[in-house]
């Protein structure tokens, strides 16, 4: 994984789950990692575990100026920004439309959709100036399939998937790779929230049905390699056994 040596990756939602696993995996591969999350103490602790190659930046991705400042901190500390991973996302509140809270519904859109836009908007000028870069966004099967009680999550993920395609069309001619990763169900805190809701078939899945969080992290590293170049502009699904084999997750 020498292709990541001294590269700088900014990861949103880095305090837990896929984001935290990705931070550790990219650091192990030699990259500088910039950890963004609202949980200041948690990302500070993770950055301390990783060492000098990590920078923790408290950030609410729904606020553009905070994301812009975080990108600026990455450039100031490490000299540039090579990879952006739009991972921050929430699923709660899980509720039927008829009794959903409008403000809480909107917060999901702010984080899951506007957060992706804010990351792209802040990172693209830096990458365009460098003539290269990679933007990876965590997608979901919910981007393409409606699920009971998940209207804000499905809507926001569908919008983020479209943003990925738009960004690819605009950025590919400038040397920037843009892709999405649909990991399937992952053994993270989000799945515990889904299980507790008891709503729709996903909540009925047994814990053993979910893949470990390090699988998406390893997939994200692979997506930055030459082997994944042909997938630019696409959404890669970890449900696909062929993809799992290509990444090296299964034999």
Q: Do the domain assignments include residue 13?
A: yes
- Cβ(10)–Cβ(74) below 8 Å: yes
**pLDDT mean over 77-88:** 98
* CATH code for the domain in which residue 38 is found: 3.40.50.720
Report the domain count for the chain.
Answer: 1
Looking at the chain, the whole-number percentage of residues with pLDDT higher than 90 is 84
Rounded to two decimals, what is the model's pTM? 0.94
Q: Do the domain assignments include residue 251?
A: no
28: Cβ–Cβ under 8 A, 6 or more apart, which residues? Answer: none
| DSSP assignment of 133-179 | EEEEEE--GGGTS--TT-HHHHHHHHHHHHHHHHHHHHHGGGTEEEE
pLDDT value at residue 35: 98
Q: Do the domain assignments include residue 250?
A: no
The total number of residues written for the chain in this structure: 251
Q: Which residues are catalytic?
A: 153
Asked if the model's pLDDT at residue 1 lies above 70, the reply is: no
Q: Do the domain assignments include residue 141?
A: yes
- Cβ(57)–Cβ(63) below 8 Å: no
pLDDT value at residue 207: 76
| DSSP assignment of 15-62 | TSHHHHHHHHHHHHTT-EEEEEES-HHHHHHHHHHH-TTEEEEE--TT
**pLDDT mean over 13-34:** 96
pLDDT digits (tens, 9 = 90+) for 187-206: 788 888 888 888 888 888 78
What range does the domain containing 11 cover?
A: 2-245
Q: Do the domain assignments include residue 195?
A: yes
pLDDT digits (tens, 9 = 90+) for 103-114: 999 999 999 999
pLDDT value at residue 193: 86
Q: Do the domain assignments include residue 176?
A: yes
Higher pLDDT among residues 2 and 13, named by residue: 13
């Amino acid at each position: 994984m020498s292709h990541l040596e001294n590269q700088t990756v900014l990861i949103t939602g880095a305090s837990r789950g896929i984001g935290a696993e990705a931070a550790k995996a990219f650091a192990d591969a030699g990259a500088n990692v910039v950890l963004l999350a609202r949980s200041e103490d948690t990302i500070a602790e993770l950055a301390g575990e990783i060492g000098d190659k990590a920078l923790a930046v408290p950030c609410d991705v729904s606020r553009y100026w905070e994301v812009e400042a975080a990108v600026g901190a990455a450039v100031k500390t490490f000299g540039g920004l090579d990879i952006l991973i739009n991972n921050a996302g929430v699923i709660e509140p899980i509720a039927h439309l008829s009794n959903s809270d409008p403000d809480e519904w909107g917060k999901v859109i702010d984080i899951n959709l506007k957060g992706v836009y804010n990351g792209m908007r802040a990172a693209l000028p830096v990458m365009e100036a460098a003539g290269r870069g990679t933007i990876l966004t965590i997608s979901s099967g919910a981007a393409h399939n409606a699920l009971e009680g998940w209207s804000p999550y499905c809507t926001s993920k569908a919008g983020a998937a479209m943003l990925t395609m738009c960004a690819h069309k605009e950025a590919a001619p400038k040397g920037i790779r843009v892709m999405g990763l649909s990991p399937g169900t992952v053994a993270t805190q989000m799945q515990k929230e889904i299980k507790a809701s008891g709503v729709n078939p996903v909540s009925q899945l047994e814990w053993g049905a979910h893949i470990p969080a390090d699988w998406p992290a390893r997939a994200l590293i692979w997506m930055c390699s030459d082997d994944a170049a042909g997938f630019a502009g696409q959404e890669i699904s970890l449900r696909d056994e062929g993809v799992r084999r290509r990444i090296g997750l299964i034999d």
